[in-house]
Chain A
């Protein structure tokens, strides 16, 4: 620690909190005017407390599960096994939150767990909601921790192994080195957990901030408004980020700029295969069970028939997700590259992008539709159907912005400066882009998967005649949750999502590179 750190830390936090106090209301008022706000909502402290409890449980579960899977993946040297574990850990992202919640609800009701827990009182309900959310959100922790792992240098850990046992290295070196990444993932999980309504709705937990906002929105209490409520969450999130970000950044920056090779913990004493295989089986079973426990897939012919019957839904989903991911990638990538090597100055724009992300999907979509659907050029553009890409991608641009900013920071400035003689295109394509390719793939995958599963926004953004898969699935789910048709639809969503994940890898030759790297 440098000598002046506490003073710098305190002043930095103060500045960020000040910014939060200014930015939060500005954004909220702007949203309010877009949403034709009328009256503020009440937000009793208990709602905050309950939301915080749920977020805390979700973060705990997500970090425990996500880190375990990430470290499994990192531990395994066999490329195919590692890829399998990585994919399995990311799998929950493919399942929309609502569907995941439905599955968990069905499972817990069938096992008699839910009623038993729920009868213990409201606190146990909060624990259940946090647990269910945490299981799905573990995928974020898994992916971000794994990304953190790849930014470590093998020698850093080996240098530790020379002085202390494996446990010491994990505790004293690996933990602190991965801490910024885990903290970032935890922050993301907390934000999503607080703003999610699907799981509280399914498990009938009503005393949380998100539900209050949701009631205001859907029950027409404050037609399309809820601006007063928006001020407080914005401030809370900004304050939390302000508290976490500077130390995070300070720790992450030297990690990212250091020289490195991909880290490997030396092989264990034995049983590695068994360990890894156990991991794969556990992860796949845990995730697969979510869908398969409450439905029965009956036959391949039915699956093929479902594919044929839903080509419209599939094409609508793919075009929506592709467009939104492209917008998020371009906007977030441009932001990341523009910010470049600006150190702490990268934080405020990213913070603002994060605040956009914290606005619940339905509020964001209603505000966007209100603004775009106006006479003149805006409305003309709205009618083309491209606005949905801007809206969905705009909300999620923080994801590629952060991921690409981190990847960009890893690249040494001199590497880029060495290419100054080249034209901008060759410099970009030949020098700047290649190291960003894998990060771009991860960012694209996250955005595409989140768009596919975003039910709230889909209702407001679907083009007429082009219903997306998530709406189709939820409608079937409502009528007969245990029908084979629902299972088929879930399978179609999974297949479409996986195809969407494979697409950029094929386009960029990433798969070949992936194999080469292994």
Chain B
């Protein structure tokens, strides 16, 4: 008898899990769950549309969802993809997984951070920065380019993440698009020659700098923010030649089951006040809307030099760059 009740309860729970007649939108998000969840809650509160989210994790280098979207291309389940970077989004655009939506709320966002056809729009960015340990390096280092710390005299005490994943992969693809395959190979070889430490993620680089195992390294603004919030002696510095800005991107999936709701969510995410909210959060995202003034401690777009990046060229280079990085990393680890 007990077993029947439990079976019935399990079935009921499943039906409950699958059912529901409310308006809803399915969003896959590679943005940190802790940062994106409150924003989606706010969306639900304001619109009454239930946001059914699927989250990615750092453990899968936030590319698991891109692969899921590609796998689901013949029968999409997802309406909106909220990515925490741009290159994988461009990959989806090229695979024909997205459909255009030109949001009015994107008007204040610079043209460099949106697709003219509306397949994707950027918002709330992270910057690539150089993090340094203030105990080991009390003076703010003078850095002209990102590559400065990968050369003597700093190289042996510097670290970067493996250029296969996340924003470092994007950064590396940018290098590849500028230097070409041979130049990039030389760049990789110089890492070995100069003794640069290559760790697995930006988080690990920041952690190593925070603990004093490294003097400085490449990472993102949000990682520095987390380390500072935990009380570690770290600070960030931007190259004087300009910073690389990597925006969150949002796109609508082709064949989305809930189109109206998907548009509503994209419009919501692209609002200036949401950018302000994201700037105020622990991720300290940099607002792209011209009129948004971020809280103290967050970089202001107007005050900094931003490197102009041809993201399509970066996306073109991405696969070749990854292949190169993988082979280099493999060769390094086999030595």
Q: Interface of A with B (CB < 8 Å)?
A: 44, 46-47, 98, 115, 122, 198, 201-202, 204-207, 212, 215-221, 223-224, 315-316, 318-319, 322-323, 362, 366, 369-370, 373-375, 379, 382-386, 455-456, 459-460, 462-467, 471-472, 474-476, 478-480, 503, 506-508
Instruction: Give min CB distance, A109 to chain B, whole Å.
Output: 8
Q: 11 pairs across A/B with beta carbons < 8 Å?
A: A218-B61, A219-B63, A219-B169, A220-B91, A220-B318, A459-B60, A460-B71, A465-B24, A465-B50, A474-B57, A479-B226
Look across to chain A and name the residue whose beta carbon is closest to the beta carbon of B325: A219
- B75–A506 CB distance below 8 A: no
- The answer to whether residues A385 and B18 also contact, given A215-B164, A220-B91, A459-B57 and a CB cut-off of 8 A, is yes
Asked if B145 CB lies within 8 Å of chain A CBs, one says: no
Within 8 A of A (CB), among B103-119: none
Alpha-carbon distance A467/B29, docked complex (angstroms): 12
- A373–B71 CB distance below 8 A: yes
Asked if B53 CB lies within 8 Å of chain A CBs, one says: yes
Alpha-carbon distance A207/B165, docked complex (angstroms): 16
Instruction: Give min CB distance, A377 to chain B, whole Å.
Output: 11
* B57 touches which of A47, A369, A455, A466 (Cβ 8 Å): A455
Asked if B23 CB lies within 8 Å of chain A CBs, one says: no
- The answer to whether residues A366 and B59 also contact, given A464-B53, A464-B54 and a CB cut-off of 8 A, is no
Look across to chain B and name the residue whose beta carbon is closest to the beta carbon of A98: B59
- The answer to whether residues A456 and B60 also contact, given A204-B200, A221-B322, A366-B68 and a CB cut-off of 8 A, is yes
Alpha-carbon distance A218/B50, docked complex (angstroms): 30
Instruction: Give min CB distance, B23 to chain A, whole Å.
Output: 13
- B63–A218 CB distance below 8 A: yes
**Complex interface: chain B residues within 8 A of A508 (CB):** 3
Instruction: Give min CB distance, A376 to chain B, whole Å.
Output: 9
Alpha-carbon distance A218/B60, docked complex (angstroms): 7
Look across to chain B and name the residue whose beta carbon is closest to the beta carbon of A465: B52
9 tightest CB-CB pairs across the interface, nearest first? A465-B52, A464-B52, A459-B64, A379-B75, A478-B58, A207-B333, A475-B33, A369-B71, A206-B333
**Complex interface: chain B residues within 8 A of A205 (CB):** 333
- A467–B18 CB distance below 8 A: no
Q: Interface of B with A (CB < 8 Å)?
A: 2-3, 6, 10, 13-14, 17-18, 24, 26-28, 32-34, 50-61, 63-68, 70-78, 88, 91, 162, 164-165, 169, 199-200, 203, 213, 226, 230, 282, 318-319, 322-323, 325-326, 329-330, 332-335
Instruction: Give min CB distance, A463 to chain B, whole Å.
Output: 7
- B32–A479 CB distance below 8 A: yes
- A207–B55 CB distance below 8 A: no
Alpha-carbon distance A425/B322, docked complex (angstroms): 58
**Complex interface: chain B residues within 8 A of A373 (CB):** 71-77
Among the interface residues B2, B65, B67, B200, which one has the most CB atoms of the partner chain A within 10 A? B67
Instruction: Give min CB distance, B307 to chain A, whole Å.
Output: 23
11 more CB-based (< 8 A) A-B contacts, given A207-B334, A373-B73: A206-B330, A218-B165, A220-B318, A362-B64, A373-B75, A382-B77, A459-B54, A463-B18, A464-B53, A475-B58, A476-B34
Among the interface residues B52, B71, B282, which one has the most CB atoms of the partner chain A within 10 A? B71
- A467–B74 CB distance below 8 A: no
**Complex interface: chain B residues within 8 A of A319 (CB):** 10, 13-14, 17
- A459–B68 CB distance below 8 A: yes
- B33–A467 CB distance below 8 A: yes
- The answer to whether residues A219 and B10 also contact, given A373-B71, A464-B54, A474-B59 and a CB cut-off of 8 A, is no
Look across to chain A and name the residue whose beta carbon is closest to the beta carbon of B324: A221
- The answer to whether residues A122 and B64 also contact, given A379-B75, A455-B59, A474-B58 and a CB cut-off of 8 A, is no
**Complex interface: chain B residues within 8 A of A465 (CB):** 24, 26, 50-54
Look across to chain A and name the residue whose beta carbon is closest to the beta carbon of B257: A383
Among the interface residues A202, A462, A465, A471, which one has the most CB atoms of the partner chain B within 10 A? A465
**Complex interface: chain B residues within 8 A of A212 (CB):** 326, 330
Look across to chain B and name the residue whose beta carbon is closest to the beta carbon of A463: B17
Does more than half of chain A's interface fall in helix, strand or loop, or is it mixed?
Answer: helix
**Complex interface: chain A residues within 8 A of B64 (CB):** 218, 362, 456, 459-460
- A375–B72 CB distance below 8 A: no
**Complex interface: chain A residues within 8 A of B162 (CB):** 206
* A464 touches which of B78, B164, B169 (Cβ 8 Å): B78
- A220–B63 CB distance below 8 A: yes
Among the interface residues A220, A318, A460, A476, which one has the most CB atoms of the partner chain B within 10 A? A220
- A219–B71 CB distance below 8 A: no
Look across to chain A and name the residue whose beta carbon is closest to the beta carbon of B7: A507
**Complex interface: chain A residues within 8 A of B329 (CB):** 206, 215
- A369–B17 CB distance below 8 A: no
- The answer to whether residues A323 and B67 also contact, given A220-B91, A465-B52, A475-B32 and a CB cut-off of 8 A, is no
- B18–A379 CB distance below 8 A: no
* A471 touches which of B57, B61, B71 (Cβ 8 Å): B57
**Complex interface: chain B residues within 8 A of A216 (CB):** 326
- A322–B333 CB distance below 8 A: no
Alpha-carbon distance A379/B75, docked complex (angstroms): 7
Look across to chain B and name the residue whose beta carbon is closest to the beta carbon of A478: B58
- B326–A475 CB distance below 8 A: no
Alpha-carbon distance A463/B162, docked complex (angstroms): 31
Alpha-carbon distance A318/B292, docked complex (angstroms): 43
Look across to chain B and name the residue whose beta carbon is closest to the beta carbon of A456: B60
Look across to chain B and name the residue whose beta carbon is closest to the beta carbon of A485: B34
- A475–B318 CB distance below 8 A: no
Alpha-carbon distance A506/B9, docked complex (angstroms): 15
Alpha-carbon distance A464/B325, docked complex (angstroms): 34
**Complex interface: chain B residues within 8 A of A370 (CB):** 71
Look across to chain A and name the residue whose beta carbon is closest to the beta carbon of B5: A507
Alpha-carbon distance A206/B329, docked complex (angstroms): 8
* B323 touches which of A46, A221, A385 (Cβ 8 Å): A221
- B169–A384 CB distance below 8 A: no
**Complex interface: chain B residues within 8 A of A323 (CB):** 14
Among the interface residues B77, B78, B333, which one has the most CB atoms of the partner chain A within 10 A? B333
Alpha-carbon distance A465/B41, docked complex (angstroms): 12
**Complex interface: chain A residues within 8 A of B330 (CB):** 44, 47, 206-207, 212
**Complex interface: chain A residues within 8 A of B33 (CB):** 467, 471-472, 475-476
**Complex interface: chain B residues within 8 A of A478 (CB):** 32, 57-59, 203
**Complex interface: chain A residues within 8 A of B203 (CB):** 478
- B68–A460 CB distance below 8 A: yes
Look across to chain B and name the residue whose beta carbon is closest to the beta carbon of A462: B54
Alpha-carbon distance A115/B211, docked complex (angstroms): 13
- B200–A460 CB distance below 8 A: no
- B70–A507 CB distance below 8 A: no
**Complex interface: chain B residues within 8 A of A506 (CB):** 2
**Complex interface: chain B residues within 8 A of A202 (CB):** 200
* A475 touches which of B24, B34, B73, B200 (Cβ 8 Å): B34
- A316–B59 CB distance below 8 A: no
Alpha-carbon distance A115/B116, docked complex (angstroms): 49
**Complex interface: chain A residues within 8 A of B200 (CB):** 201-202, 204
- A480–B322 CB distance below 8 A: no
- B68–A369 CB distance below 8 A: yes
**Complex interface: chain A residues within 8 A of B334 (CB):** 44, 46-47, 122, 207
- A366–B34 CB distance below 8 A: no
- A467–B54 CB distance below 8 A: yes
Look across to chain A and name the residue whose beta carbon is closest to the beta carbon of B203: A478
Instruction: Give min CB distance, B41 to chain A, whole Å.
Output: 12
- B319–A221 CB distance below 8 A: yes
Alpha-carbon distance A366/B17, docked complex (angstroms): 23
Look across to chain B and name the residue whose beta carbon is closest to the beta carbon of A322: B10
Instruction: Give min CB distance, A254 to chain B, whole Å.
Output: 35
- B2–A507 CB distance below 8 A: yes
Alpha-carbon distance A267/B2, docked complex (angstroms): 39
